[in-house]
Amino acid sequence: MTRLAVVGGGFMGSQIATQAALHGIDVRLQDVSEEQLEKSMELNRGHLRRRVDKGRMTETDLEDTLARIRTTTDLAQSVTDAEAVIEAIVEDLGAKRDLFAQLGALAPPEAILASNSSTIVISKLADVTGRPQLCANMHFFSPVLVMELCEVVMGPQTSEATAERCLELVREMGRTPVLLRKEVDGFVVNRILHAATQEAYRLLDSGVADFKDIDIAVEKGLNWPLGPFRLGDFTGLDITYHARKHIYETTGDPASKPSERLREKVEKGELGRKTGKGWYDYDP
């Protein structure tokens, strides 16, 4: 199994690490905050505990899985013998470039360096590593312990061998990969989702229908498990807003401009389930 390092111990990074450990992969999970690492691992223990309670895994499996994850605040220690490194830190280009420069210097020269980012393509990071042919995007979907897909995206200099290694790593982790041979904003899923949900927001902003009725129409008519507004509450309206803002600022396309109603929600701090209120109200 691939020796894996995951950099970024927040929600996404810790779940990527846990998903890998579930399938027998030894993982080093690094974050600058020891408190964040402890919090994330305790949350993931809770996720696995529910599987035990439902009879989907044993107590021994739970403990063995968590034992495969070694946490550290030392970046050099986390990547020293890694065959692959997956970055899952804050969506900030400067921070990611600083990290990838360090990874290029610290990780073994043959290690692949991947970013979990869904908005920052690997070509914006690979040049600082000294090994652009070994860099790619590996975009897992949230929550990683539930969602099966991972988009593997090649940059202009990503080698075929690197792409194949990324695909194989996703399969080792028990997830299903798809390969994108060219960089494109939003990749496949978010690009299609953006087009559909952007139309839903246009319908709302123009007064065609209420958000609840749009959700019902999409759920019952298109068989989506969640309508666009319910889905936005689940993922976080701030994440939805900033993703749309990024696409708008990158492309300059007026059709990609974020909804005013969405902007108002974010400015009020009504971000969805995590704040108890978004488009819908939630029991805290």
* Catalytic positions: 118, 139, 151, 190
Nearest CA to 148 out of 11, 19, 243 is that of 19
Q: Are 205 and 259 in contact (CB under 8 A)?
A: yes
How far is 121 from 104, CA to CA, in rounded Å?
Answer: 17
How far is 113 from 83, CA to CA, in rounded Å?
Answer: 9
Q: Are 235 and 142 in contact (CB under 8 A)?
A: yes
CB atoms within 10 A of CB 50: 10
Nearest CA to 72 out of 29, 9, 103 is that of 29
